Amino acid sequence: MAKTLIKNGLVVNATGTGAADVLIDGETIAAVLAPGSMLLGFDIEGNVDRVIDAAGKYVIPGGVDAHTHMEMPFGGTFASDTFETGTRAAAWGGTTSIVDFVVQYPDQNILDQYHAWHEKAAGNCAIDYGFHQILSDVQDSSLTAMDELIEEGVTSFKLFMAYKGVFLSDDGQILRAFQKGSSNGALMMMHAENGAMIDVLVKQALEAGNTTPFFHGTSRPWQAEEEATHRAIMIADLTGAPLYVVHVSAKQAVDQIAAARDRGLNVFGETCPQYLYLSLEDQLGAWSQQWGDFEGAKWVCSTPLRSKHEGHQDHMWQSLRTNDIQMVSTDHCPFCMKDQKDMGIGDFSKIPNGIGSVENRMDLMYQGVVSGRISLSRWVEITSTTPARMFGMYGRKGVIQPGADGDIVVYDPNGHTSIGLGKAHHMNMDYSAWEGFEIDGHVDTVLSRGRVIVDETGYVGTKGDGAYIKRGLSQYLT
Ligand code: URP
Ligand code: ZN
Ligand code: ZN
Ligand code: ZN
């Protein structure tokens, strides 16, 4: 097995930073050494197959994106990245593990779906991947199957309080699933929006002739998110199940999570780059020559982008500092404008919901370090270490230490990344949600289990390098 030495870099873990050399033997980190790579007089550098000089650069654990939807069937179409294209784009951006969602629609069998997702991913991924399971209707057989899935390494289950007739579970169904999670140790994930309120507001907006993407945002108000977040917390409290609220965008929902945590509950929240940087007015309300007032469809996702006049984005950054929100995933769910998003011209409710950012998350969050909003270690913590702990992968993933997988990114703080189509864009999308964003930093080298998969020439890995991650129970519970 090949040995690699990454020398002269600043190793950044969630717990701190230090100048160190990292020796990788085969797929695993063998040693983190004082700089100089001599061990008891033994010349390490002269005895490895590859030396990577990381002088002036950060050496960080590979990114863990715990919320992706590769080729997800949704809104009458499929998310445009396959496991092959989406994981390759992730690698370009310094992410070395994803956790994707196995979809169950009503009446489908969750174990059949789980096996189908393995077939989609196996042999196609550039990086390692795990699965969460979506529960739509909560069948008796689904509750039994949850135990089996935990044995398979699927230890987290997502339910929805929105999308009636598609994904929505009623409160009784949610209660039953949470009772199961309380007894078997699963982490219960929630899409927290009040679907009944939203369905009325959408209908009223369309009847009033308000059909453009902007009204996707106004028909999914923060009250619908706050209320559902509160309800999910109450069901978690009642049942004792740990709760992880996905894609939090409203400051009021953050405050519900913070209050629950202050009461000592195992309640956690994830946000996404779009809720830190983008807004209802600037993106959902955007106009362009090509798409006119339909331009905003590029950013139609749920929960929606929030108003820049209400302080959600600043509050979200602050919650990342204080750990009221624990981590950042992408909710990568890309759709092209042509032939996908454009199904919603004249009716925003027909726009497939989702944004693609799997390639951009590490860079976008590093920009938070540059602007002084988060520290270097916190950057690693919210993008790698906490996702690994939250979803039962820590030790192998999320840390640079002996015994961990050789999933490493050499990040150049003096480099530069221009995000956008035709620049650093490898997702299967005909636009970038981040067009024009300039990043003061650059992903230079990416190793996945000891293999260099991105170097100065670009992507050098092979389809199928990525393996299934059999996850354990959450390591984040208190
Ligand atoms: O708009 C979104 N978020 N699409 C993906 C599905 C989901 O709810 O996470
Ligand atoms: Zn969701
Ligand atoms: Zn999602
Ligand atoms: Zn560079």
Residue 423 is part of a domain; what is its CATH number? 2.30.40.10
Asked, for residue 467, whether it belongs to a domain, the answer is: no
Q: Six-digit token pair at 459?
A: 């992507």
Q: What is the pLDDT of residue 36?
A: 83
Residue to substitute in 301, 303, 330, 349 for testing ligand 1 pocket (most ligand atoms within 8 angstroms of CB): 301
Virtual CA dihedral for 208, 350, 197, 292, nearest 10 degrees?
-50
Q: What is the pLDDT of residue 97?
A: 99
Say whether both 44 and 87 belong to one domain: no
Q: Counting atoms of ligand 1 from 1, which one is nearest the CA of 246?
A: 9
Q: Counting atoms of ligand 1 from 1, which one is nearest the CA of 162?
A: 8
Q: Write the pLDDT tens digit of every residue in 59-71.
A: 999 999 999 999 9
Cβ atoms within 10 A of the Cβ of 470, count?
Answer: 14
For residue 424, report the distance from its CA to the centre of ligand 4, in Å: 12
Say whether both 272 and 368 belong to one domain: yes
Residue to substitute in 350, 353, 358 for testing ligand 1 pocket (most ligand atoms within 8 angstroms of CB): 353
362: domain CATH number is: 3.20.20.140
Q: What is the pLDDT of residue 259?
A: 98
Q: How far is it, in rounded angstroms, from Cα 379 to Cα 373?
A: 10
Asked, for residue 227, whether it belongs to a domain, the answer is: yes
Say whether both 359 and 230 belong to one domain: yes
CB neighbour burial string for 233-252, b if at least 16 within 10 angstroms, e if fewer: bebbbebebbbbbbbbbbbb
Asked, for residue 472, whether it belongs to a domain, the answer is: no
For residue 219, report the distance from its CA to the centre of ligand 4, in Å: 43
Asked, for residue 465, whether it belongs to a domain, the answer is: no
Asked, for residue 466, whether it belongs to a domain, the answer is: no
Check if 354 has its Cβ closer than 6 Å to any atom of ligand 1: yes
Asked, for residue 251, whether it belongs to a domain, the answer is: yes
Q: By C-alpha distance, which of 92, 166, 99, 179 is closest to 135? A: 166
Q: What is the pLDDT of residue 423?
A: 66
Stretches where the chain sits below pLDDT 50 are none
Say whether both 52 and 77 belong to one domain: no
Q: Six-digit token pair at 104?
A: 């169950």
Check if 332 has its Cβ closer than 6 Å to any atom of ligand 1: no
Q: What is the pLDDT of residue 425?
A: 83
Say whether both 186 and 308 belong to one domain: yes
Say whether both 48 and 67 belong to one domain: no
CB neighbour burial string for 134-160, b if at least 16 within 10 angstroms, e if fewer: bbbbbbeebbebbeebbebebbbbbbb
Residue identifier of the C-alpha nearest atom 4 of ligand 1: 354
* Structure-token match 């020796």, residue found: 23
At what angle are helices 251-262 and 312-322 packed, to 10 degrees? 30
Check if 301 has its Cβ closer than 6 Å to any atom of ligand 1: yes
Domain boundary among 339, 358, 390: 390
Decide: 369 and 379 in contact? Cβ < 8 Å. yes
Domain boundary among 348, 365, 390: 390
Say whether both 11 and 149 belong to one domain: no
Q: How far is it, in rounded angstroms, from Cα 428 to Cα 451?
A: 24
Say whether both 437 and 346 belong to one domain: no
Check if 251 has its Cβ closer than 6 Å to any atom of ligand 1: no
Q: How far is it, in rounded angstroms, from Cα 56 to Cα 54?
A: 6
Domain boundary among 335, 358, 390: 390
Q: What is the pLDDT of residue 420?
A: 78
pTM, to two decimals:
0.98
Say whether both 243 and 358 belong to one domain: yes
Percent of the chain at pLDDT exceeding 90: 95
> What is the widest separation between alpha-carbon atoms in the chain?
78
Virtual CA dihedral for 203, 206, 212, 215, nearest 10 degrees?
-40
- In one letter, which amino acid is 288? S
Asked, for residue 270, whether it belongs to a domain, the answer is: yes
Q: Counting atoms of ligand 1 from 1, which one is nearest the CA of 301?
A: 1
Chain centroid, CA 242 distance in Å? 19
For residue 460, report the distance from its CA to the centre of ligand 4, in Å: 16
Q: Write the pLDDT tens digit of every residue in 346-392.
A: 999 999 999 999 999 999 999 999 999 999 999 999 999 999 999 99
Say whether both 151 and 299 belong to one domain: yes
- Number of domains the chain contains: 2
For residue 415, report the distance from its CA to the centre of ligand 1, in Å: 32
Residue identifier of the C-alpha nearest atom 9 of ligand 1: 331
Say whether both 91 and 217 belong to one domain: yes
CB neighbour burial string for 188-224, b if at least 16 within 10 angstroms, e if fewer: bbbbbbbbebbbebbeebbeeeebbbbbbbbbbbbeb
Asked, for residue 172, whether it belongs to a domain, the answer is: yes
Say whether both 204 and 288 belong to one domain: yes
Range of the domain at 207: 63-390
